[in-house]
Each structure stands twice: as structure tokens, then as C-alpha cells.
């Protein structure tokens, strides 16, 4: 089947992409001290050079004491880190690609002992104390305002160093999603209770980012039904509920929705073959990015960081191309396949399928 649809240009306002291939954000912990180094520059440059239209960086932490949850994760604040990201931007642009940072706060997932300050607990919509020790600090209004401001400043910095937009990580059980999800949000104030109230924090973040960057700078919002804590979790159960959930985010300033699913081919609701990205596009009229096990067979991404030696072999993308040609979604995010094979997009484009590399935990040893 022709791959032409995957390599057609995409345009949204001033954002012009040379292809519909998006590099999905994947945490790698390759930035000691939180600063992207020469290896990180080369990592992203190679994928842009091989035909990736838009790179969404690995999660980058905003300027808040509890934003980080993992070692060696890059920051998106501080002169040293921003200088590193500027070098990444220049390298990607030189290859004809476009790039946005994924702005991230892990929320209550953070554990005591985590860098940069091991004394700082997780922050979340609901607190947690065990044996007299505060493991998760329940966010006050002052805390919420500070985090919203930190997102806005990160977006402002992204524009200043030449990024092509920003992505807000509102998925997978991290801070924004912790407010969305009734399993983690037990608040009784204006940020808790109904889904409309639980969406208030995200809406405030989007509005603040829009005010910081102006009307023409693209804002991508990533969301999911599933959580790393619960694969079966759901925010909404019908198209009607999904539309009600998404519309305030559109009004706040979201331009593109990145709809995270574990398997792109699975229908989101009974009675239709549309996946989450398909329904989101139909309900909002906004461009969408689909994602979920594109290009590789076997277990999902997260399982490869457990104790398994399973190898994910290259898989065909005929079904994906059919959906793209039907305009079910606009862009396609590729994760594991691009993580292990920087030439994946070029090999797909040029019909070099036999050369595509399989994915395994062992292959993660050489991620450049």
C-alpha cells in the first residue's frame, strides 16, 4: 500500500511539517543534571534527518520543586538547560524538522529521595501521609497558582529559544491527569467532584500558556483514558462525555490533541471503529495525533522496562495508512520503533521494510 499519505506535508497556521510522522515523547534519562548534552542533540537530529516531521521531546520538567520524578530527566528551565535545548532546536531545524518540548510535572508519582531536592515530596490534588511522613503534599491554591505560572513560563521560554510549539502532558496519571481522574482527585473544592471541576486545573494551565505565547504559537495537549497506575481507567464512557470534556480545553486554547492509546487500532467506544484520536477529531474539529504500538508487534512500550526479554518485531502499517487516508486523524506518533531505529521513517518511505530494526530491552543500550 502507498505510504504517500504519511509523507504529505501538514500545515496548521504557521506550523508547517514536512511529513505526518511524529516522534512520540519517551523518557530516556540521558541528561545528567537536567541539561541536554551533545548526545541528546544528535539523538533528535538523526530522527529529523530521516523524515520525522515533528519531534515531541521526552518529558521536560517545569520550574517547580516537585516537577521531577526520575533521574537525569531534562529540565526546561535554567540558562544551562535552555541553552542545551536551543542547540537541539538548531540541529532539528537544520535537517528540516520541527520540534516541541513536552512540558511535564509528575505530581504525586514523585517519591521522597528523588532529585533535585530529595526532601521534597510529591505534589498532587490529594495528599498522602504514611507513618507521620508526608509522601504527597495536597496542593493549596497558592501551589496551584505557582504550577500554572511555571507552565506559562516554560512555554514562554520555548518560544524564545525557537521551539515550534509546546505539548502539555495531561496523560498517563501525571499531575494534570491526576486532577482529571476521580481515582486520584478526592478534592471537595472547585477542583474536585465533577469532571468539569476536575478539568479546571488543566484549563487554567492552557489559558495561562496561551496568554504567555500569544495566539499563533501551537499548543498540543496530550491526554489518555488509561493511567500507568490503572490500564483500565476511563475518564469518559461515551462520545457525548468526551465532547463535553474536550470542548473547554478547545476554548482555553488547545490547537492539536495528542490522543494516547496503547493500541491505535482499538475502537474507543462500542458501535464505531473510530479510535480516540478519531473521535476527538470528529467532536472538536481540531487536528489530532494518534499513537499506540505503531510499527511494532508485541507488548506495549511500558512492559519493555520490566523484566522481559521479549523482542518486538517490525509490523505492517497498512491499517494505519487506511485510517490516515480516511482522515480519521491527521498525524501519527511513533514510539518504540523510532526509539530503537532512527531511520524508521526513511525506511518506511523508501520501502526498505526488511531493514527496520526490532525492539528489545537490549537494544535500549544504544539509543542515539
174 is catalytic: yes
HSE at residue 160, side-chain half, CA atoms within 13 A, is: 12
Q: Judge contact between 53 and 17, C-beta under 8 A.
A: yes
All residues at 6 or more sequence positions from 69 whose CB lies less than 8 Å from its CB, including other chains: 106, 109, 110, 111, 114, 122
Return the closest-CA partner of residue 259 out of 22, 98, 53, 101: 22
Active-site hit among 43, 44, 174, 191: 174
DSSP assignments along 70-93, one per residue: STTPPBS-SHHHHHHHHHHHHHHH
All residues at 6 or more sequence positions from 41 whose CB lies less than 8 Å from its CB, including other chains: 84, 87, 88, 91
Q: Name the H helices within the chain.
A: 38-49, 79-94, 141-160, 175-180, 195-198, 200-213, 239-252, 276-284, 318-325, 336-340, 344-350
> d(Cα 47, Cα 250) in Å, to the nearest integer?
30
Q: Catalytic positions, please?
A: 174
Amino acid at each position: 500500500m502507498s505510504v504517500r499519505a504519511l509523507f504529505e506535508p501538514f500545515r496548521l497556521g504557521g506550523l508547517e511539517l514536512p511529513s505526518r510522522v511524529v516522534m512520540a515523547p519517551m523518557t530516556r534519562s540521558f541528561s545528567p543534571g537536567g541539561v541536554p548534552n551533545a548526545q541528546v542533540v544528535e539523538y533528535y537530529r538523526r530522527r529529523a534527518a530521516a523524515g520525522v516531521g515533528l519531534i515531541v521531546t521526552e518529558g521536560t520538567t517545569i520550574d517547580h520543586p516537585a516537577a521531577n520524578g526520575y533521574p537525569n530527566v531534562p529540565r526546561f528551565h535554567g540558562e544551562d538547560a535552555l541553552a542545551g535545548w536551543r542547540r537541539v532546536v538548531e540541529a532539528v531545524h537544520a535537517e528540516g524538522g520541527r520540534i516541541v518540548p513536552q512540558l511535564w510535572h509528575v505530581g504525586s508519582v514523585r517519591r521522597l529521595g528523588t532529585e533535585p531536592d530529595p526532601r521534597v515530596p510529591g505534589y498532587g490534588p490529594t495528599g498522602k501521609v504514611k507513618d507521620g511522613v508526608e509522601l504527597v503534599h495536597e496542593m493549596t491554591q497558592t501551589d496551584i497558582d505557582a504550577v500554572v505560572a511555571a507552565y506559562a513560563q516554560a512555554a514562554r521560554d520555548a518560544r524564545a529559544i525557537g521551539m515550534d510549539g509546546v505539548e502539555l502532558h495531561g496523560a498517563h496519571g501525571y499531575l494534570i491527569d491526576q486532577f482529571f481522574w476521580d481515582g486520584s482527585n478526592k478534592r471537595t473544592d472547585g477542583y474536585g467532584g465533577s469532571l468539569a471541576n476536575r478539568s479546571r486545573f488543566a484549563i487554567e494551565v492552557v489559558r495561562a500558556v496561551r496568554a504567555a505565547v500569544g495566539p499563533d504559537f501551537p499548543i498540543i495537549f496530550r491526554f489518555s483514558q488509561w493511567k500507568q497506575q490503572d490500564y483500565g481507567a476511563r475518564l469518559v464512557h461515551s462520545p457525548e462525555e468526551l465532547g463535553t470534556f474536550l470542548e473547554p480545553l478547545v476554548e482555553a486554547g488547545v490547537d492539536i490533541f495528542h490522543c494516547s492509546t496503547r493500541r491505535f487500532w482499538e475502537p474507543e467506544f462500542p458501535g464505531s471503529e473510530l479510535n480516540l484520536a478519531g473521535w476527538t477529531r470528529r467532536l472538536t474539529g481540531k487536528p489530532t495525533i494518534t499513537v499506540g504500538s505503531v510499527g511494532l508487534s508485541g507488548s506495549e512500550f511500558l512492559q519493555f522496562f520490566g523484566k522481559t526479554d521479549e523482542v518486538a518485531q517490525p509490523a505492517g502499517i497498512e491499517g494505519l495508512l487506511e485510517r490516515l487516508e480516511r482522515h480519521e486523524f491527521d498525524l501519527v506518533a511513533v514510539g518504540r520503533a523510532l526509539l530503537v531505529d532512527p531511520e524508521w521513517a526513511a525506511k518506511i518511505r523508501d520501502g526498505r521494510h526488511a531493514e527496520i530494526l526490532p525492539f528489545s530491552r537490549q537494544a535500549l543500550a544504544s539509543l542515539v
